[in-house]
Structure 1
Amino acid sequence: MDEPLSNLDAKLRVQARAEISKLHMQLGTTFIYVTHDPVEAMTMGNRIAVMKDGRLQQVDTPHTLYTRPANLFVAGFIGSPAMNFFQAKLREQEGTLWIDTGAFRVAIPPHQAEPYWQYVGKSVIFGIRPENIHDPHYQPPGIQPAPVRAKVSVTELVGHEVILYLSTSDREGILAEQEFIARVDPRTQLRVNQWAEVIFASTCSIPKPSSA
């Protein structure tokens, strides 16, 4: 099937997606389904082959692609909104490994730090998914929160959640050009042009450090 739902409206696309999934289970045969929509791929596929420019990037289950992407392209393709990326350096201070973007620092929990000690002092790309950024008043239990100060530029209420577009500032308080996106609890009181502290969850995925 080559993008069979691309010309349908949003409501019908959701219904047709469910019907195709039911048909696949009833027939018990292999379907090859081509799509540019990561939501379709994640919700319908048992195994997903991610391709770029005719080259295979990764083949695995939806869960593995989401939690352990093989490279930046896969990390950015899987998930909606896409993963946020920050240029950063890995730094060590008093036995703790830190991701330093210049605008903020996030500590890597000790149980996750082992693979990254060899990259201390080197440039890396730090990735965090929007759903791993929270309003501190409604953060989920069981996370190790890392506070980050940012300015809200846009809010989008979509019913069950609010999408926030935020911008960081450097350590002198100058607003940076790079924005990032958060998916937060719909009860949030954060508003446009407000400076706020949001919480980065320490359980987020960190793509493989670059060789720079």
Structure 2
Amino acid sequence: MRDSSHQLSQKVGSTIHQPIEKIVADLLAAVGEDPARHGLRETPQRVARMYAELFSGVGMDPRDAIDAIFDEESTDPVLLRDVTFYSMCEHHLLPFFGSARVAYIPNGRIAGISKLSRALEVACRRPQVQERLTGQFADAVHSALSPIGVAVELEAEHLCMAMRGVQKPGARVITTAVRGDFASGDWNRDSLLALLRRDA
């Protein structure tokens, strides 16, 4: 999969811009604003373009992003950490964002490292919940590489909790997903999680 998120949003945008623009204009009017005033006149178009980008992963399979795979006999662990991500909570359509870590034990194949980040991005660009996102990312890596094991951890702040409702800015949600049977070798679920959470 070679399309950037911008290219994907352009493809999606041509079909969704007009209905989103109308919805945003109606929303502004419903809260007592004038959609025709100078500062808001182009807001529906801007919001439509934004949603086309933020939801460009809808209907896409994150594992397809892992399209650079190489034969490699090493079974030494691979750890990618501090990957910034942004997604949209499907309950309130407000962002949640944070940092991701992924570790896997190769089983004859390794991925181009940037493709792991790309798979996460595809999974992020849709209405999401953090728990599902964590599992989808782990499933994508496991399906694409068939590793001995893979572990994913996401840590994120949710604006639906920070700026509304209980209003607790700075609170972080941590979710973890582990895939693999760990039937042989020196690694098991606990040791892979320990590697994932190890400080630099």
Which of the pair is proportionally richer in helix? 2
Per the TM superposition, whether the score is higher than 0.5 is no
Which of the pair is proportionally richer in strand? 1
Q: Normalising by structure 2, what TM-score?
A: 0.29
